[in-house]
Structure 1
Amino acid sequence: MGTDQSSVLSAQSILNMDASSIARAIKDGEITSNEAVNIYIEHLKKVNPAINAVVEEHYTEALREAQEKDNQNANVTKGPLFGVPISVKEAFNVENMKTTGGLLNRKHLIAREDADVVAKLKEAGAIILGKTNTPALCFCQETDNKLYGRTNNPWDVTRTAGGSSGGEGALLGAGGAAAGVGSDIGGSIRFPSHFKGVVGFKPGKFQVSSIGHFPADTIPLQKRMSGMGPMGKSVRDMELIYDIIANNSATEQSLDDFEIGILSDGLNIPLSQNTKDVVGGIESYLQKSVSVNRSTPPYFENSAQLWQEIMSLDGGKSMEKLAFNTDRSNVLAAYAKEKITRKTKIHPYLSWALIGAKLFKPSSGRIKQIEGIIEQGDREIAAYLNNRLLILPVYHTAAPEHGKLFQEIFSIRKTFLQYMPYIAYANVWGLPSLTIPAGTDENNMPIGIQVVSMNGNEDAIFKLGKIVERKFGGYNRCSRLD
């Protein structure tokens, strides 16, 4: 129980609690912020050596902040996350902490002010325990880099943590914080949530400020694909934290006004039987109370191709400049040298992704076509999703072994066309997407599903998410490393 044994709540119960519950317990005097922060720090010290999720500790400062909050006058207005310990993806600037992007050439860079998202969370009373690992420049769906190394899945350390918010997912899966915050331009919140049994929410386009996120989105078509959003233990936390960080609050809605769309059978993309069973079970349950239909959303089947082309619009030049700003290495030569010697400064996941961006860079004529497709698609999809919520898988399997996810998505054989459609749809069209744990596979690895709709339908998304969470289990803290 840390330094204070007076709490009526056990350490295990506090590690299992979501941010809303901890905030309530602090407000009601059942626990102090100092106790909660101590419990989470001690837990992180125990589990982090196995998962390598926390790459920069903020423990001393967190304990000081917690004590200050506990000493505040009872009449002081307190935010909705007052005294709650959280974690932050390394990509977000936190004042007086590093923002490296997992690059050796940035290992000493200290942020002088908070990212907008971080500032809002602090204003709401949250206390930051530390920053969590990402792939280099967040440019991969597996979390490994030359500066901090590889993050492991707490459910099975031989399996991927996903990415790019892989450190957040691993930490939260093991119960290392009450909640956290990540970012998602290609499944970066949803892959880690799905693989670790965590709840995650990717907001729709332009709903949350990206100021203070590294790397910054500088290309308009990429910026619309990106979302800064919460990760944690419950749908209600996603709703609460989204309300804190979003530009506008969600509008009250009724599920009676919506029909539920399930992806059509027979599409030529892989899906494990375990995942089919999870989706089928949700479909059967929902049919008892709401309208559920099988269909293929507009532009679903070409969204993976569009996603890859949009990610390759500049041939990876902006990322290459950040990665190689202190040397003159050719990215192809750097990749070859790393595969032979393993002694370069750039992780091969990043250099190979940059090579792929050059190979898949669209021509100027194709860019004009893409812009036209996006303009027309936005109109059609908005009409389709006006009163519809989609339930989609996240990936075709639960968490694979380290390296396999990268091979499936970054193969020169364009296998991303098979494996990315479920994820790419929400990115390409800038749609809000909520990931909820809803089952497990034959190895007891978590399986999540997405609830997707259009901007403005966030309230309905959260309402449906709570139904799925309540019926199919939701978050279950991994205690294997306790």
Structure 2
Amino acid sequence: MTVDLIHVDASKLAELIRTGEVSSVEVVRAHLDRVEAANPRLNAVVTRVDEALNAARAADEALAAGGEVGPLHGVPFTAKDSFDTAGVPTQRGSPIFAGRIPDTDSTAVARMKSAGAILLAKTNLPEFSYWVETDNLLTGRTNNPWDVNRSSGGSSGGESAAIAAGMSPLGLGTDLSISVRGPAADTGIMALKPTHGRIPMTGIWPRQPRRNWHVGPMARSIRDLALAYALLAGPDGDDGFATVPRDFDTGLGTSPDRPVRLGWLVDSGLGPTHPEVAATVRAAAEALRSTGAQVDSVSIPALERDNPLELWNKLSIMEVKPAFQQVTAGHEDQMFSYSKFVAQLPDTSMDDYVQAEQAVERLRDGFAEYFHHYDALLMPVTTIPAHEHQLSEFTLDGRTMGAFHVSSTTVPFNLTGHPALSMRFGTSSDGMPIGVQLVANPYAESTILHLASLLETLSPVRDQHPSL
């Protein structure tokens, strides 16, 4: 049989390998060949793993010997270059860490390997994972495979570009304010930011603070997100935020005993949204209505009272600056421009910090009230489709917004820790992917995975790939 190995999902690849229709060596070689062909234009991959083909041969031998195999046996995956990888450079997008080679794998990488997956490559990121575009002084800028003059997002922009371009079927990213969901929307793939603490951050810098950081899988299918999430979630005995047991249902293939209650919004105090993004959210709401869901246009007063982006800025300056200062002291000449900007921001006053903390509590209360009435929330991922490189500001509805406004619709759920999923459901007039975001109560990932699987079957852009 002839199979387009670089465009089928990881679940299908695992099935093909288990049944002997293809070998792991064939799959890994196909993806390495794709990296060779596509990466010069994209700069998504920063390190290829030399041992990947040897690992694939070992996987084929183990399968031939009849031993037990994991759910991703022989399937390649990639990881953002902030995840520690034993014997493979983890440079965090910074000359300060050039050539750094960890001795051990991060928990997330180790769990992927335990499931039989093979680390293929490391992917690009902004310095320290701290910006909405992927660029740095060490490994340079990543381009969007739909249009190389556009950004692939940040901070997991290398990962999103690699998956969208067929260099990887499945990957690992991190999310501080937008960083798996936004890049997924920019490049037309899917990503899940689970409930805070659901997947341990062990082996990912910075170790502190971790309160708003999340690990999330990125993929080209909802079933791949669900599978990776099931493999990655659960305590590791090291990350104090990861305490909830691993027993859960991903929600795929099951239907609740009553109609799902879904609210959708486009603004609700979060600022202006591009009209094509708003139209895509409305289209997704109507698609879910057609499945029998109860769908209502909603507002959330808590979002209108306290601006999450302003709160995030106040809190992150206070919490992230010390981590920056610790590693950059004496290396200021090696810092990327945005890192320098963050390091030089004035400290948040203690009064402002306390008020911001109290406002975050109000946000949590507001979402608790909302989810008392609804099972999920549908809204934009980013406020605009993928933008040109080095965008500093843009205008919507006559208002000029800073570049970080693209995250105004994602950052609330880093502050509160709610699970949120990004998937493509539309296309802009100039051919760029447009995503929608599904949000649920803490630990209710099964709800949004179920809804996303319904949307996936109804998507007007299903199985579209960039022509790069």
**Same-fold call, TM cutoff 0.5:** yes
Please give the alpha-carbon distance, in whole angstroms, between the structure 1 residues aligned to 2:326 and 2:174.
21
Q: How does 1:77-92 map to 2 (within 5 A)?
A: 77-92=68-83
Shift of the alpha carbon at 1:266?
A: 7.1
Match for 2:55: what amino acid? E
Shift of the alpha carbon at 1:380?
A: 4.0
Closer/same/farther in 2, CA of residues 349 and 417 from structure 1, 3 Å limit: closer
Shift of the alpha carbon at 1:416?
A: 6.7
Pick the aligned partner of 2:329 from 325, 337, 350. Answer: 325
Please give the alpha-carbon distance, in whole angstroms, between the structure 1 residues aligned to 2:310 and 2:377.
20
Q: Which residue of 2 aligns with 1:138?
A: 129
Shift of the alpha carbon at 1:114?
A: 0.2
Closer/same/farther in 2, CA of residues 166 and 16 from structure 1, 3 Å limit: same
Please give the alpha-carbon distance, in whole angstroms, between the structure 2 residues aligned to 1:154 and 1:127.
24
Q: Which residue of 1 aligns with 2:205?
A: 214
Closer/same/farther in 2, CA of residues 475 and 129 from structure 1, 3 Å limit: farther
Structure 1 residues 141-168: Cα deviation after superposition (integer angstroms, max 9, x where no partner): 1111111010100111110111100100
Does the residue aligned with 1:449 lie in a helix, a strand or coil?
A: strand
Q: Which residue of 2 aligns with 1:61?
A: 51
Shift of the alpha carbon at 1:440?
A: 0.4
Shift of the alpha carbon at 1:275?
A: 1.3
Please give the alpha-carbon distance, in whole angstroms, between the structure 2 residues aligned to 1:14 and 1:104.
35
Match for 2:324: what amino acid? M
Q: Which residue of 2 aligns with 1:287?
A: 289
Please give the alpha-carbon distance, in whole angstroms, between the structure 2 residues aligned to 1:418 and 1:231.
23
Closer/same/farther in 2, CA of residues 402 and 457 from structure 1, 3 Å limit: same
Shift of the alpha carbon at 1:46?
A: 0.2
Please give the alpha-carbon distance, in whole angstroms, between the structure 1 residues aligned to 2:300 and 2:260.
15
Pick the aligned partner of 1:350 from 339, 343, 347. Answer: 339
1:458 and 2:445 are equivalent in the alignment: yes
Shift of the alpha carbon at 1:365?
A: 1.9
Q: Which residue of 2 aligns with 1:365?
A: 351
Shift of the alpha carbon at 1:287?
A: 2.4
Match for 2:185: what amino acid? H
Segments of structure 2 that go 5 or more residues without pairing to the other structure are 235-245
Q: Which residue of 2 aligns with 1:385?
A: 371
Q: Which residue of 2 aligns with 1:34?
A: 25
1:271 and 2:278 are equivalent in the alignment: no
Q: Which residue of 2 aligns with 1:403?
A: 390
Closer/same/farther in 2, CA of residues 379 and 121 from structure 1, 3 Å limit: same
Please give the alpha-carbon distance, in whole angstroms, between the structure 1 residues aligned to 2:228 and 2:165.
20
Closer/same/farther in 2, CA of residues 264 and 435 from structure 1, 3 Å limit: closer
Q: Which residue of 1 aligns with 2:242?
A: none
Match for 1:277: what amino acid? A
Match for 1:53: what amino acid? A
Shift of the alpha carbon at 1:258?
A: 3.2
Structure 1 residues 19-48: Cα deviation after superposition (integer angstroms, max 9, x where no partner): 000001111111110100011101110000
Q: Which residue of 1 aligns with 2:216?
A: 229
Q: How does 1:39-58 map to 2 (within 5 A)?
A: 39-58=30-49
Q: Which residue of 1 aligns with 2:61?
A: 71
Shift of the alpha carbon at 1:268?
A: 6.8
Shift of the alpha carbon at 1:273?
A: 1.9
Does the residue aligned with 2:21 lie in a helix, a strand or coil?
A: coil
Relative to the length of structure 1, the TM-score reads 0.87
Does the residue aligned with 2:216 lie in a helix, a strand or coil?
A: strand
Please give the alpha-carbon distance, in whole angstroms, between the structure 1 residues aligned to 2:183 and 2:402.
20
Instruction: Assess if the C-alpha contact under 8 Å between 2:266 and 2:278 holds in 1.
Output: no
Does the residue aligned with 2:318 lie in a helix, a strand or coil?
A: coil
Please give the alpha-carbon distance, in whole angstroms, between the structure 2 residues aligned to 1:98 and 1:192.
23
Please give the alpha-carbon distance, in whole angstroms, between the structure 1 residues aligned to 2:427 and 2:401.
28
Does the residue aligned with 1:14 lie in a helix, a strand or coil?
A: coil
User: How many residues align structurally?
Assistant: 444
Pick the aligned partner of 2:313 from 291, 308, 315. Answer: 308
* CA RMSD between the two structures: 2.1
Structure 1 residues 356-385: Cα deviation after superposition (integer angstroms, max 9, x where no partner): xx23x3211222223333344434423422
Instruction: Assess if the C-alpha contact under 8 Å between 2:375 and 2:447 holds in 1.
Output: no
Match for 2:271: what amino acid? I
Closer/same/farther in 2, CA of residues 250 and 385 from structure 1, 3 Å limit: farther
Q: Which residue of 2 aligns with 1:3?
A: none
Shift of the alpha carbon at 1:414?
A: 7.4
Relative to the length of structure 2, the TM-score reads 0.90
Instruction: Assess if the C-alpha contact under 8 Å between 2:259 and 2:293 holds in 1.
Output: no
Q: Which residue of 2 aligns with 1:471?
A: 458
Closer/same/farther in 2, CA of residues 455 and 125 from structure 1, 3 Å limit: same
Instruction: Assess if the C-alpha contact under 8 Å between 1:269 and 1:419 holds in 2.
Output: no
Closer/same/farther in 2, CA of residues 266 and 422 from structure 1, 3 Å limit: closer
Match for 2:264: what amino acid? I
Match for 2:162: what amino acid? L
Q: Does 426-435 or 302-311 show the bigger shift?
A: 302-311
Q: How does 1:107-146 map to 2 (within 5 A)?
A: 107-146=98-137
Does the residue aligned with 2:297 lie in a helix, a strand or coil?
A: strand
Instruction: Assess if the C-alpha contact under 8 Å between 2:206 and 2:323 holds in 1.
Output: no
Q: Which residue of 2 aligns with 1:338?
A: none
Pick the aligned partner of 1:246 from 233, 239, 246. Answer: 233
Match for 1:171: what amino acid? A
Closer/same/farther in 2, CA of residues 383 and 257 from structure 1, 3 Å limit: farther
Please give the alpha-carbon distance, in whole angstroms, between the structure 2 residues aligned to 1:172 and 1:266.
32
Segments of structure 1 that go 5 or more residues without pairing to the other structure are 1-7, 330-343
Please give the alpha-carbon distance, in whole angstroms, between the structure 1 residues aligned to 2:415 and 2:159.
23
Instruction: Assess if the C-alpha contact under 8 Å between 2:423 and 2:452 holds in 1.
Output: yes
